[in-house]
Amino acid sequence: MMTAIVVIVVLGLLLAALVCPLLTWQSRSISRVYPVAVLCLLVAALLASVYLSLYFSYSPNQNTRVLGWPVPVAVSQRHSQSEPWLDYVGSFPPIAIVVNSIVFVGVSQTGLWLVSTIHRKRAMKST
């Protein structure tokens, strides 16, 4: 059940990443800044997803270590602090990077679309 929810959320964010820029580019009152902002956010989201997937690690407790966020690449556990870390690969790293990229790009493009829509509606009210 949880896997189905995650797949639906990721597909929704992928759809948002594709549709939100198209909706704004379709409007007649588009700013010249918007395409530059889309490109900058796209590059920043891709760089952040690669960094957070491969280089970000955290420990939710003393005996668990997680590499990657929000979709982990690897999870290491141990039974006590005197024992070695046992690796459990949670997902294939390229898949985790792709899913993290979809999440970051989807969220950033949806946010940019919301900001541009609010800005455009305020500009239409003031005229």
Residue 108 lies in a domain: yes
Residue 98 lies in a domain: yes
Per-residue pLDDT of the chain (127 residues; tens, 9 = 90+): 666 777 788 888 888 877 877 777 776 666 777 788 888 888 999 999 999 999 999 999 999 898 888 888 888 888 888 888 887 766 678 888 888 998 898 888 888 888 888 887 887 787 6
Residue 105 lies in a domain: yes
SS in 3 state form for 22-90? HHHHHCCCCCCHHHHHHHHHHHHHHHHHHHHHHCCEEEEECCEEEECCCCCCEEEECCCCCCCCEEECC
The confidence score (pLDDT) of residue 94 equals 84
Residue 115 lies in a domain: yes
Domain count, the chain: 1
Residue 80 lies in a domain: yes
Please name the amino acid found at residue 92: F
Look up the domain containing 85 and give its range: 56-122
The confidence score (pLDDT) of residue 91 equals 63
